[in-house]
Amino acid sequence: MALTVRKNKSPAPQCPIGECMAFLRGAWTPAIIWNLSGGARRFGELRSDIGKISAKVLTHRLRELEDMGVVRRDVKPTSPPSVEYSLSDLGKELMPAIAAIVSVGHRLKKRSARRLAA
């Protein structure tokens, strides 16, 4: 007996999660957003916060995030000029989702450590 195909009852015909996940692709975008959640950071500070990211990749990701309206770039009138990056209002809206991912990551890390210790 063949099974009947049920209709999808989701509120949206196409899943909007895909759009957000495509935006968060890669290992560095969530890390950049997470590190900016504590406040404005200069390029060098972000690079040392994140660790193994190259200057080229960090520059590229920051430009993408700025173009998407997630990160603000503020040039300070100092000599020499310095630039600070911070989260825009849209970027701040991502924080609950990223915080939830971080929470699950901590639990997975603990579980993995317990398995290795056993």
For the chain, the domains span 17-117
Q: What is the pLDDT of residue 54?
A: 94
Query: Which one of 5-19, 56-70, 97-111 scores highest in mean pLDDT?
Result: 56-70
Does residue 62 have a pLDDT over 80? yes
Comparison of pLDDT for 105 and 17, the residue scoring more: 105
Inter-residue contact 50 to 58 (CB < 8 Å): yes
End-to-end CA distance of the chain: 47
Backbone angles phi, psi at 75, to 5 degrees: -85, 120
Q: What is the pLDDT of residue 35?
A: 94
Task: Determine the pLDDT at residue 53.
Answer: 93
Place of tokens 């991912």: 101
What is the reported pLDDT for 58? Answer: 96
Q: What 3-state DSSP class applies to 50?
A: helix
Question: What pLDDT shows up at residue 1?
Answer: 73
What is the pLDDT, as a whole number, of residue 11?
Answer: 67
The Cα–Cα gap between 60 and 81 comes to 20
Q: How does pLDDT run across 13-49, given as a tens digit for each residue?
A: 666 777 777 777 777 998 999 999 999 999 999 999 9
Is the predicted pLDDT of residue 117 greater than 90, yes or no?
no
Q: What fold characterizes domain 17-117?
A: Arc Repressor Mutant, subunit A (1.10.10)
Q: Quote the tokens at residue 79.
A: 């000599």
